[in-house]
Amino acid sequence: MSDAFEERKKKFEEKWAHDEALRFKIAARRNKLLGLWAAGELGLSGEAAEEYAKSVVGADFKGGTFAKIRADFDAAGLAHPDHLIHREMEELLVKAADQILHEHKS
């Protein structure tokens, strides 16, 4: 009976770790997509856009992607309201989840 409990506990922990890894990948993908979108709004393209997207992904660990984009838009004089940025974040989260889950099934 103890073995059955331990096996069930192990399976639960494995599923939790798997789900957490998926959430992390989805968030990172969303942040990259968000960074590419914001880069376009800022007039960046090519390698500059890719570098900017990486900085947005990194911002998630330093205080938040929204705060970075808001500050960068303000510094550039872009009058994008907060709700526009949040809407883009939500839409790209769905897109990122679709991409990651599709890749995961393949």
Mean pLDDT by 10 residues, the chain (106 residues): 79 85 92 97 97 93 88 96 96 96 80
User: Rounded to two decimals, what is the model's pTM?
Assistant: 0.84
Q: Is 46 left (phi over 0), alpha (psi -120 to 50) or beta?
A: left
Structure tokens of 104? 């995961």
Domain boundaries, the chain: 26-105
pLDDT digits (tens, 9 = 90+) for 76-89: 999 999 999 999 99
